[in-house]
Structure 1
Protein backbone atom coordinates (compact mmCIF):
# COMPACT_ATOMS: atom_id res chain seq x y z
CA UNK A 1 0.00 0.00 0.00
CA UNK A 2 1.45 3.36 -1.03
CA UNK A 3 2.14 5.93 1.65
CA UNK A 4 -0.56 8.62 1.82
CA UNK A 5 0.72 12.18 1.55
CA UNK A 6 -1.09 14.67 3.77
CA UNK A 7 -0.85 18.44 3.45
CA UNK A 8 -2.08 20.47 6.44
CA UNK A 9 -2.55 24.17 5.74
CA UNK A 10 -2.47 25.79 9.17
CA UNK A 11 -3.11 29.43 10.13
CA UNK A 12 -2.85 30.57 13.74
CA UNK A 13 -0.43 32.98 15.42
CA UNK A 14 -0.23 31.25 18.80
CA UNK A 15 1.58 27.96 19.40
CA UNK A 16 -0.43 27.65 22.63
CA UNK A 17 -3.82 27.90 20.90
CA UNK A 18 -6.44 25.19 20.67
CA UNK A 19 -5.97 25.28 16.89
CA UNK A 20 -2.31 24.36 17.42
CA UNK A 21 -3.33 21.46 19.67
CA UNK A 22 -5.81 20.22 17.05
CA UNK A 23 -3.14 20.47 14.33
CA UNK A 24 -0.66 18.51 16.46
CA UNK A 25 -3.33 15.89 17.18
CA UNK A 26 -3.94 15.52 13.44
CA UNK A 27 -0.21 15.18 12.73
CA UNK A 28 0.14 12.52 15.43
CA UNK A 29 -2.90 10.50 14.31
CA UNK A 30 -2.02 10.62 10.63
CA UNK A 31 1.64 9.74 11.19
CA UNK A 32 0.54 6.80 13.34
CA UNK A 33 -1.27 5.56 10.22
CA UNK A 34 1.95 5.79 8.20
CA UNK A 35 0.97 8.98 6.40
CA UNK A 36 3.63 11.41 5.29
CA UNK A 37 2.52 14.73 6.79
CA UNK A 38 3.65 18.18 5.67
CA UNK A 39 2.42 21.34 7.40
CA UNK A 40 2.25 24.74 5.74
CA UNK A 41 2.16 27.07 8.76
CA UNK A 42 1.04 30.27 7.06
CA UNK A 43 1.81 32.60 9.97
CA UNK A 44 5.26 31.12 10.58
CA UNK A 45 5.94 31.39 6.85
CA UNK A 46 4.64 35.00 6.82
CA UNK A 47 2.61 33.87 3.81
CA UNK A 48 1.00 36.78 1.97
CA UNK A 49 -2.64 35.93 1.29
CA UNK A 50 -3.38 38.86 -1.02
CA UNK A 51 -3.24 38.58 -4.81
CA UNK A 52 -0.99 41.36 -6.13
CA UNK A 53 1.62 42.07 -8.80
CA UNK A 54 4.21 40.99 -6.21
CA UNK A 55 3.20 37.40 -7.04
CA UNK A 56 5.09 37.79 -10.31
CA UNK A 57 8.84 38.11 -10.77
CA UNK A 58 10.08 40.32 -13.57
CA UNK A 59 8.06 42.76 -15.64
CA UNK A 60 4.29 42.56 -16.04
CA UNK A 61 2.78 42.64 -19.52
CA UNK A 62 0.50 45.62 -18.94
CA UNK A 63 1.54 47.73 -15.91
CA UNK A 64 -0.94 50.52 -16.78
CA UNK A 65 -3.91 48.16 -16.50
CA UNK A 66 -2.78 45.23 -14.35
CA UNK A 67 -5.08 42.22 -14.72
CA UNK A 68 -4.13 39.61 -12.16
CA UNK A 69 -5.55 36.52 -13.88
CA UNK A 70 -3.90 37.27 -17.23
CA UNK A 71 -0.56 38.31 -15.73
CA UNK A 72 -0.28 35.29 -13.41
CA UNK A 73 -1.22 32.93 -16.26
CA UNK A 74 1.61 34.38 -18.34
CA UNK A 75 3.97 34.26 -15.33
CA UNK A 76 3.00 30.60 -14.77
CA UNK A 77 3.72 29.77 -18.42
CA UNK A 78 7.09 31.53 -18.20
CA UNK A 79 8.07 30.23 -14.73
CA UNK A 80 7.95 33.71 -13.17
CA UNK A 81 5.63 33.20 -10.20
CA UNK A 82 7.05 34.25 -6.83
CA UNK A 83 8.95 31.71 -4.72
CA UNK A 84 6.29 31.50 -1.99
CA UNK A 85 3.63 30.52 -4.52
CA UNK A 86 5.82 28.01 -6.36
CA UNK A 87 6.78 26.38 -3.05
CA UNK A 88 3.12 25.86 -2.10
CA UNK A 89 2.43 24.56 -5.60
CA UNK A 90 5.26 22.05 -5.12
CA UNK A 91 3.67 20.84 -1.90
CA UNK A 92 0.33 20.40 -3.65
CA UNK A 93 1.96 18.52 -6.52
CA UNK A 94 3.77 16.20 -4.12
CA UNK A 95 0.54 15.52 -2.21
CA UNK A 96 -0.55 13.21 -5.08
CA UNK A 97 -3.91 13.85 -6.72
CA UNK A 98 -4.87 16.93 -4.71
CA UNK A 99 -6.13 18.58 -7.87
CA UNK A 100 -8.01 15.51 -9.10
CA UNK A 101 -11.61 14.44 -8.60
CA UNK A 102 -12.53 12.58 -5.41
CA UNK A 103 -9.85 14.27 -3.36
CA UNK A 104 -11.12 14.84 0.17
CA UNK A 105 -11.21 18.25 1.82
CA UNK A 106 -12.02 18.72 5.50
CA UNK A 107 -12.27 22.16 7.07
CA UNK A 108 -11.36 22.28 10.73
CA UNK A 109 -11.50 25.47 12.74
CA UNK A 110 -12.29 27.09 16.07
CA UNK A 111 -14.83 29.79 16.80
CA UNK A 112 -14.89 32.50 19.41
CA UNK A 113 -18.61 31.99 20.06
CA UNK A 114 -20.93 29.22 21.17
CA UNK A 115 -22.69 27.05 18.59
CA UNK A 116 -26.07 28.70 19.26
CA UNK A 117 -24.66 31.99 17.99
CA UNK A 118 -24.10 30.36 14.57
CA UNK A 119 -27.65 29.05 14.15
CA UNK A 120 -30.14 30.34 11.55
CA UNK A 121 -31.45 32.76 14.19
CA UNK A 122 -28.12 33.37 15.94
CA UNK A 123 -26.33 36.70 15.99
CA UNK A 124 -23.53 35.40 13.71
CA UNK A 125 -25.90 33.72 11.25
CA UNK A 126 -26.13 30.12 10.08
CA UNK A 127 -22.68 28.50 9.90
CA UNK A 128 -23.82 26.39 6.94
CA UNK A 129 -24.64 29.56 5.00
CA UNK A 130 -21.30 31.09 6.02
CA UNK A 131 -19.36 28.02 4.84
CA UNK A 132 -21.33 27.48 1.61
CA UNK A 133 -19.18 29.76 -0.63
CA UNK A 134 -15.97 28.11 0.59
CA UNK A 135 -17.13 24.50 0.69
CA UNK A 136 -19.26 24.55 -2.46
CA UNK A 137 -18.10 27.59 -4.43
CA UNK A 138 -14.39 26.85 -4.08
CA UNK A 139 -13.59 23.35 -2.81
CA UNK A 140 -16.41 21.40 -4.49
CA UNK A 141 -16.09 23.47 -7.65
CA UNK A 142 -12.38 22.61 -7.80
CA UNK A 143 -13.15 18.89 -7.60
CA UNK A 144 -12.81 18.17 -3.90
CA UNK A 145 -15.19 15.80 -2.14
CA UNK A 146 -16.01 18.04 0.83
CA UNK A 147 -16.45 16.28 4.15
CA UNK A 148 -18.52 17.77 6.96
CA UNK A 149 -16.48 20.42 8.78
CA UNK A 150 -14.97 19.87 12.21
CA UNK A 151 -15.98 22.91 14.21
CA UNK A 152 -14.61 23.47 17.70
CA UNK A 153 -17.18 25.77 19.29
CA UNK A 154 -15.61 28.39 21.60
CA UNK A 155 -12.73 26.32 23.01
CA UNK A 156 -11.38 29.42 24.78
CA UNK A 157 -14.53 29.40 26.93
CA UNK A 158 -14.45 25.65 27.62
CA UNK A 159 -13.07 24.05 30.76
CA UNK A 160 -9.85 22.01 30.34
CA UNK A 161 -11.84 18.76 30.34
CA UNK A 162 -14.11 20.22 27.64
CA UNK A 163 -11.12 21.03 25.44
CA UNK A 164 -9.73 17.53 26.10
CA UNK A 165 -13.07 16.05 25.03
CA UNK A 166 -12.96 18.13 21.84
CA UNK A 167 -9.49 16.80 21.02
CA UNK A 168 -10.56 13.22 21.81
CA UNK A 169 -13.54 13.58 19.45
CA UNK A 170 -11.19 15.03 16.80
CA UNK A 171 -8.83 12.06 17.17
CA UNK A 172 -11.76 9.66 16.78
CA UNK A 173 -12.98 11.49 13.71
CA UNK A 174 -9.52 11.42 12.14
CA UNK A 175 -9.26 7.67 12.70
CA UNK A 176 -12.73 7.16 11.19
CA UNK A 177 -11.91 9.44 8.28
CA UNK A 178 -8.68 7.58 7.65
CA UNK A 179 -10.26 4.12 7.70
CA UNK A 180 -13.50 4.89 5.87
CA UNK A 181 -12.85 7.83 3.59
CA UNK A 182 -9.17 8.49 2.98
CA UNK A 183 -8.26 7.05 -0.39
CA UNK A 184 -6.32 10.03 -1.68
CA UNK A 185 -4.44 12.93 -0.16
CA UNK A 186 -6.01 14.87 2.66
CA UNK A 187 -6.01 18.64 2.85
CA UNK A 188 -6.75 20.27 6.17
CA UNK A 189 -7.23 23.92 6.92
CA UNK A 190 -7.24 25.49 10.37
CA UNK A 191 -8.70 28.97 10.52
CA UNK A 192 -7.50 31.25 13.31
CA UNK A 193 -9.45 31.44 16.53
CA UNK A 194 -11.05 34.86 16.74
CA UNK A 195 -9.89 35.24 20.34
Structure 2
Protein backbone atom coordinates (compact mmCIF):
# COMPACT_ATOMS: atom_id res chain seq x y z
CA UNK A 1 0.00 0.00 0.00
CA UNK A 2 0.89 3.65 -0.38
CA UNK A 3 -0.44 5.24 2.78
CA UNK A 4 -0.90 8.90 3.66
CA UNK A 5 -1.25 9.25 7.46
CA UNK A 6 -3.03 12.46 8.38
CA UNK A 7 -2.64 13.28 12.09
CA UNK A 8 -3.98 16.11 14.24
CA UNK A 9 -2.83 16.35 17.85
CA UNK A 10 -0.79 19.20 19.34
CA UNK A 11 1.52 17.05 21.52
CA UNK A 12 3.68 14.23 20.09
CA UNK A 13 3.99 12.81 23.64
CA UNK A 14 0.23 12.22 23.81
CA UNK A 15 -1.63 8.96 23.37
CA UNK A 16 -2.43 10.02 19.82
CA UNK A 17 1.19 10.90 19.17
CA UNK A 18 2.39 7.53 20.45
CA UNK A 19 -0.15 5.58 18.39
CA UNK A 20 0.68 7.65 15.32
CA UNK A 21 4.36 6.73 15.65
CA UNK A 22 3.50 3.09 16.32
CA UNK A 23 1.21 2.90 13.29
CA UNK A 24 3.72 4.43 10.89
CA UNK A 25 6.49 2.13 12.13
CA UNK A 26 4.28 -0.94 11.80
CA UNK A 27 3.24 -0.12 8.24
CA UNK A 28 6.84 0.43 7.21
CA UNK A 29 7.90 -2.84 8.85
CA UNK A 30 5.19 -4.58 6.85
CA UNK A 31 6.74 -3.21 3.64
CA UNK A 32 4.24 -0.46 2.90
CA UNK A 33 5.21 3.03 1.77
CA UNK A 34 4.11 5.81 4.13
CA UNK A 35 3.95 9.57 3.84
CA UNK A 36 2.65 11.77 6.65
CA UNK A 37 0.89 15.04 7.26
CA UNK A 38 1.29 15.81 10.98
CA UNK A 39 -0.69 19.04 10.92
CA UNK A 40 0.46 20.61 14.20
CA UNK A 41 4.10 19.74 13.50
CA UNK A 42 3.73 21.26 10.02
CA UNK A 43 2.17 24.45 11.39
CA UNK A 44 -0.69 23.88 8.96
CA UNK A 45 -2.80 26.96 8.19
CA UNK A 46 -6.45 25.87 8.51
CA UNK A 47 -8.05 29.10 7.27
CA UNK A 48 -9.41 29.43 3.73
CA UNK A 49 -8.59 32.78 2.13
CA UNK A 50 -8.31 34.38 -1.30
CA UNK A 51 -4.55 33.81 -1.16
CA UNK A 52 -5.19 30.06 -1.51
CA UNK A 53 -6.21 30.58 -5.13
CA UNK A 54 -3.87 33.23 -6.52
CA UNK A 55 -0.30 31.94 -6.10
CA UNK A 56 1.97 33.29 -8.83
CA UNK A 57 -0.72 35.55 -10.24
CA UNK A 58 0.98 38.90 -10.19
CA UNK A 59 -1.26 40.67 -12.66
CA UNK A 60 -0.29 42.07 -16.07
CA UNK A 61 3.16 43.25 -14.94
CA UNK A 62 4.13 39.61 -14.26
CA UNK A 63 2.22 38.20 -17.16
CA UNK A 64 -0.18 36.42 -14.85
CA UNK A 65 -3.42 37.73 -16.29
CA UNK A 66 -6.60 38.23 -14.25
CA UNK A 67 -7.00 36.54 -10.89
CA UNK A 68 -9.71 33.93 -10.36
CA UNK A 69 -11.57 36.75 -8.57
CA UNK A 70 -10.93 40.46 -9.06
CA UNK A 71 -9.96 43.12 -6.54
CA UNK A 72 -12.97 44.05 -4.47
CA UNK A 73 -15.13 41.23 -5.84
CA UNK A 74 -16.90 38.74 -3.62
CA UNK A 75 -14.88 35.57 -3.12
CA UNK A 76 -16.89 32.56 -4.31
CA UNK A 77 -14.73 29.81 -2.86
CA UNK A 78 -15.91 26.90 -5.00
CA UNK A 79 -15.47 28.58 -8.36
CA UNK A 80 -12.24 30.31 -7.31
CA UNK A 81 -10.78 26.98 -6.22
CA UNK A 82 -11.85 25.24 -9.42
CA UNK A 83 -10.29 27.95 -11.54
CA UNK A 84 -7.09 27.85 -9.48
CA UNK A 85 -6.86 24.08 -9.96
CA UNK A 86 -7.25 24.57 -13.71
CA UNK A 87 -4.68 27.37 -13.87
CA UNK A 88 -2.22 25.81 -11.44
CA UNK A 89 -2.39 28.76 -9.05
CA UNK A 90 -3.25 27.03 -5.78
CA UNK A 91 -1.11 27.82 -2.77
CA UNK A 92 2.03 25.60 -2.60
CA UNK A 93 1.01 24.06 0.74
CA UNK A 94 -2.27 22.88 -0.78
CA UNK A 95 -0.51 21.55 -3.88
CA UNK A 96 1.87 19.57 -1.65
CA UNK A 97 -1.10 17.85 0.03
CA UNK A 98 -2.69 17.18 -3.37
CA UNK A 99 0.51 15.47 -4.47
CA UNK A 100 0.45 13.24 -1.38
CA UNK A 101 -3.22 12.35 -1.90
CA UNK A 102 -2.70 11.60 -5.59
CA UNK A 103 0.22 9.33 -4.70
CA UNK A 104 -1.59 7.44 -1.92
CA UNK A 105 -4.06 4.61 -2.34
CA UNK A 106 -4.94 4.61 1.38
CA UNK A 107 -5.62 7.48 3.79
CA UNK A 108 -5.49 7.20 7.59
CA UNK A 109 -7.19 10.10 9.38
CA UNK A 110 -6.25 10.23 13.09
CA UNK A 111 -7.53 12.72 15.64
CA UNK A 112 -9.01 13.16 19.12
CA UNK A 113 -12.77 13.71 19.24
CA UNK A 114 -13.19 17.26 20.49
CA UNK A 115 -16.73 18.52 21.08
CA UNK A 116 -18.15 15.80 18.85
CA UNK A 117 -15.96 16.66 15.89
CA UNK A 118 -12.50 17.07 14.45
CA UNK A 119 -9.97 19.56 15.82
CA UNK A 120 -10.19 22.84 13.90
CA UNK A 121 -6.81 22.33 12.26
CA UNK A 122 -8.01 19.07 10.69
CA UNK A 123 -11.33 20.55 9.55
CA UNK A 124 -9.29 23.33 7.95
CA UNK A 125 -7.16 20.76 6.13
CA UNK A 126 -10.26 19.34 4.47
CA UNK A 127 -11.61 22.85 3.77
CA UNK A 128 -8.43 23.87 1.96
CA UNK A 129 -7.39 20.56 0.36
CA UNK A 130 -10.67 18.94 -0.71
CA UNK A 131 -11.45 21.71 -3.19
CA UNK A 132 -13.69 21.68 -6.23
CA UNK A 133 -11.84 20.54 -9.30
CA UNK A 134 -9.62 18.24 -7.25
CA UNK A 135 -11.77 16.29 -4.78
CA UNK A 136 -15.22 16.95 -6.26
CA UNK A 137 -17.02 18.76 -9.04
CA UNK A 138 -16.47 15.98 -11.59
CA UNK A 139 -19.26 15.13 -14.07
CA UNK A 140 -19.97 12.19 -16.37
CA UNK A 141 -20.93 12.37 -20.05
CA UNK A 142 -24.59 12.86 -19.09
CA UNK A 143 -23.74 15.81 -16.86
CA UNK A 144 -24.39 13.98 -13.58
CA UNK A 145 -22.15 14.88 -10.67
CA UNK A 146 -19.88 12.00 -9.74
CA UNK A 147 -19.97 11.96 -5.95
CA UNK A 148 -20.98 9.67 -3.09
CA UNK A 149 -18.95 6.67 -4.21
CA UNK A 150 -17.75 8.08 -7.53
CA UNK A 151 -15.53 10.97 -8.52
CA UNK A 152 -12.00 12.22 -8.56
CA UNK A 153 -10.75 10.20 -5.56
CA UNK A 154 -12.58 6.95 -6.34
CA UNK A 155 -10.43 3.85 -5.93
CA UNK A 156 -8.80 5.07 -2.73
CA UNK A 157 -9.59 3.76 0.75
CA UNK A 158 -9.63 5.52 4.11
CA UNK A 159 -9.85 4.61 7.78
CA UNK A 160 -10.52 6.94 10.70
CA UNK A 161 -8.61 6.41 13.95
CA UNK A 162 -10.33 8.48 16.63
CA UNK A 163 -9.68 8.77 20.36
CA UNK A 164 -12.29 9.73 22.94
CA UNK A 165 -12.27 10.07 26.69
CA UNK A 166 -15.64 8.32 26.85
CA UNK A 167 -16.25 4.67 27.64
CA UNK A 168 -16.68 2.44 24.60
CA UNK A 169 -20.31 1.55 25.39
CA UNK A 170 -21.30 5.22 25.72
CA UNK A 171 -20.45 5.64 22.03
CA UNK A 172 -22.72 2.76 21.05
CA UNK A 173 -26.24 2.72 19.63
CA UNK A 174 -27.85 3.52 23.03
CA UNK A 175 -24.96 5.43 24.58
CA UNK A 176 -25.40 8.95 25.88
CA UNK A 177 -22.64 10.26 23.62
CA UNK A 178 -24.30 9.01 20.45
CA UNK A 179 -23.34 6.17 18.14
CA UNK A 180 -19.82 6.55 16.76
CA UNK A 181 -20.86 6.06 13.15
CA UNK A 182 -23.37 8.89 13.48
CA UNK A 183 -20.78 11.21 15.02
CA UNK A 184 -18.36 10.44 12.19
CA UNK A 185 -21.01 10.61 9.45
CA UNK A 186 -20.04 14.14 8.28
CA UNK A 187 -16.45 13.00 7.78
CA UNK A 188 -16.92 9.44 6.62
CA UNK A 189 -19.98 9.88 4.40
CA UNK A 190 -20.18 13.61 3.74
CA UNK A 191 -16.49 14.15 2.97
CA UNK A 192 -14.60 10.94 2.20
CA UNK A 193 -17.40 8.97 0.51
CA UNK A 194 -18.63 12.17 -1.16
CA UNK A 195 -15.24 12.39 -2.89
CA UNK A 196 -15.44 8.74 -3.95
CA UNK A 197 -13.21 7.22 -1.26
CA UNK A 198 -14.22 3.82 0.16
CA UNK A 199 -14.44 4.17 3.95
CA UNK A 200 -13.43 1.31 6.24
CA UNK A 201 -14.99 0.89 9.70
CA UNK A 202 -13.30 3.29 12.14
CA UNK A 203 -11.03 2.36 15.01
CA UNK A 204 -12.09 3.86 18.35
CA UNK A 205 -9.45 4.46 21.03
CA UNK A 206 -11.81 4.75 23.99
CA UNK A 207 -11.11 5.84 27.55
CA UNK A 208 -8.26 8.00 26.26
CA UNK A 209 -7.99 10.03 29.47
CA UNK A 210 -7.46 6.93 31.62
CA UNK A 211 -4.89 4.87 29.70
CA UNK A 212 -2.25 3.02 31.69
CA UNK A 213 0.55 0.88 30.24
CA UNK A 214 -1.65 -2.19 29.83
CA UNK A 215 -4.45 -0.22 28.18
CA UNK A 216 -1.98 1.47 25.84
CA UNK A 217 -0.61 -1.88 24.69
CA UNK A 218 -4.17 -3.12 24.08
CA UNK A 219 -4.92 -0.06 21.93
CA UNK A 220 -1.59 -0.37 20.09
CA UNK A 221 -2.28 -4.04 19.41
CA UNK A 222 -5.76 -3.23 18.09
CA UNK A 223 -4.23 -0.62 15.79
CA UNK A 224 -1.60 -3.05 14.51
CA UNK A 225 -4.25 -5.67 13.79
CA UNK A 226 -6.42 -3.21 11.91
CA UNK A 227 -3.46 -1.97 9.87
CA UNK A 228 -2.41 -5.53 9.02
CA UNK A 229 -5.93 -6.32 7.80
CA UNK A 230 -6.35 -2.98 6.01
CA UNK A 231 -5.91 -4.27 2.43
CA UNK A 232 -8.63 -6.89 2.97
CA UNK A 233 -11.12 -5.01 5.18
CA UNK A 234 -14.51 -4.52 3.60
CA UNK A 235 -15.67 -0.90 3.50
CA UNK A 236 -18.81 0.48 5.09
CA UNK A 237 -21.59 -0.27 2.56
CA UNK A 238 -22.68 3.30 1.88
CA UNK A 239 -25.13 3.72 -0.99
CA UNK A 240 -23.95 5.21 -4.29
CA UNK A 241 -25.69 8.40 -5.37
CA UNK A 242 -26.01 7.27 -8.98
CA UNK A 243 -26.75 3.61 -8.31
CA UNK A 244 -30.53 3.95 -8.47
CA UNK A 245 -31.24 4.06 -4.73
CA UNK A 246 -32.11 7.78 -4.75
CA UNK A 247 -34.74 9.63 -6.74
CA UNK A 248 -34.21 12.76 -8.83
CA UNK A 249 -34.26 14.88 -5.66
CA UNK A 250 -31.56 12.64 -4.09
CA UNK A 251 -34.05 11.21 -1.58
CA UNK A 252 -33.86 7.51 -0.75
CA UNK A 253 -36.64 5.61 -2.50
CA UNK A 254 -39.47 4.58 -0.10
CA UNK A 255 -39.13 0.86 -0.77
CA UNK A 256 -35.51 0.79 0.43
CA UNK A 257 -34.83 0.11 4.13
CA UNK A 258 -38.40 1.12 5.09
CA UNK A 259 -37.96 0.05 8.72
CA UNK A 260 -34.47 1.49 9.27
CA UNK A 261 -34.13 4.78 11.10
CA UNK A 262 -31.51 7.50 11.27
CA UNK A 263 -28.38 7.83 9.20
CA UNK A 264 -28.18 4.05 8.73
CA UNK A 265 -30.66 4.37 5.84
CA UNK A 266 -27.66 5.44 3.76
CA UNK A 267 -26.08 2.01 4.25
CA UNK A 268 -27.11 -0.68 1.79
CA UNK A 269 -29.64 -2.89 3.53
CA UNK A 270 -27.64 -6.03 2.74
CA UNK A 271 -24.17 -6.56 1.41
CA UNK A 272 -23.08 -9.17 -1.11
CA UNK A 273 -23.34 -12.00 1.45
CA UNK A 274 -26.81 -11.04 2.63
CA UNK A 275 -25.37 -9.98 5.98
CA UNK A 276 -26.71 -6.80 7.62
CA UNK A 277 -24.10 -4.05 7.28
CA UNK A 278 -22.14 -2.91 10.34
CA UNK A 279 -23.89 -0.18 12.32
CA UNK A 280 -27.36 -0.68 10.82
CA UNK A 281 -30.17 -0.15 13.33
CA UNK A 282 -33.68 -1.40 12.92
CA UNK A 283 -36.69 0.61 14.06
CA UNK A 284 -39.87 -0.98 15.40
What is the CA-CA distance between 1:60 and the residue it aligns to?
A: 4.4
Larger helix fraction of residues: 1
Which of 151, 154, 159 is the aligned partner of 1:101?
Answer: 154
Which of 34, 41, 45 is the aligned partner of 2:38?
Answer: 41
Q: Deviations over 1:59-91 (max 9, x none)?
A: 442432110011111112221111110110111
Indicate the larger mover: 152-161 or 81-90.
Answer: 152-161
Question: For residue 61 of structure 1, what is the aligned residue in structure 2?
Answer: 69
Question: For residue 15 of structure 1, what is the aligned residue in structure 2?
Answer: 12
CA 1:140–1:60 in structure 2 vs 1: closer, same or farther (change >3 Å)?
closer
When normalised by structure 1's length, the TM-score is: 0.81
CA 1:11–1:97 in structure 2 vs 1: closer, same or farther (change >3 Å)?
closer
Larger strand fraction of residues: 1
List runs of 5+ in structure 2 lacking aligned partners: 58-66, 108-151, 235-284
Q: Does 1:169 align with 2:166?
A: no
Question: For residue 64 of structure 2, what is the aligned residue in structure 1?
Answer: none
Q: Does 1:119 align with 2:172?
A: yes
Q: Does 1:88 align with 2:141?
A: no
The separation in 1 between residues aligned to 2:15 and 2:96, in whole angstroms, is: 27
List runs of 5+ in structure 1 lacking aligned partners: 183-195
Alignment RMSD, CA only?
2.2
Report the secondary structure of 1:64's partner residue: coil
Which of 195, 211, 214 is the aligned partner of 1:142?
Answer: 195
What is the CA-CA distance between 1:124 and the residue it aligns to?
A: 2.5
Report the secondary structure of 2:42's partner residue: coil
Contact 2:105 2:155 in 1 (8 A): no
Contact 1:155 1:163 in 2 (8 A): no
The separation in 1 between residues aligned to 2:187 and 2:46, in whole angstroms, is: 15
How many positions carry a matched residue from both structures?
Answer: 178
The separation in 2 between residues aligned to 1:152 and 1:97, in whole angstroms, is: 20
CA 1:95–1:119 in structure 2 vs 1: closer, same or farther (change >3 Å)?
closer
Find the structure with the greater CA-based Rg. Answer: 2
What is the CA-CA distance between 1:161 and the residue it aligns to?
A: 0.5
Question: For residue 160 of structure 1, what is the aligned residue in structure 2?
Answer: 213
CA 1:25–1:122 in structure 2 vs 1: closer, same or farther (change >3 Å)?
same
Report the secondary structure of 2:158's partner residue: strand
Question: For residue 52 of structure 1, what is the aligned residue in structure 2?
Answer: 49
Which structure carries more relative contact order (alpha carbon 8 Å, separation 6+)?
Answer: 1
The separation in 1 between residues aligned to 2:153 and 2:30, in whole angstroms, is: 23
Indicate the larger mover: 132-141 or 162-171.
Answer: 132-141
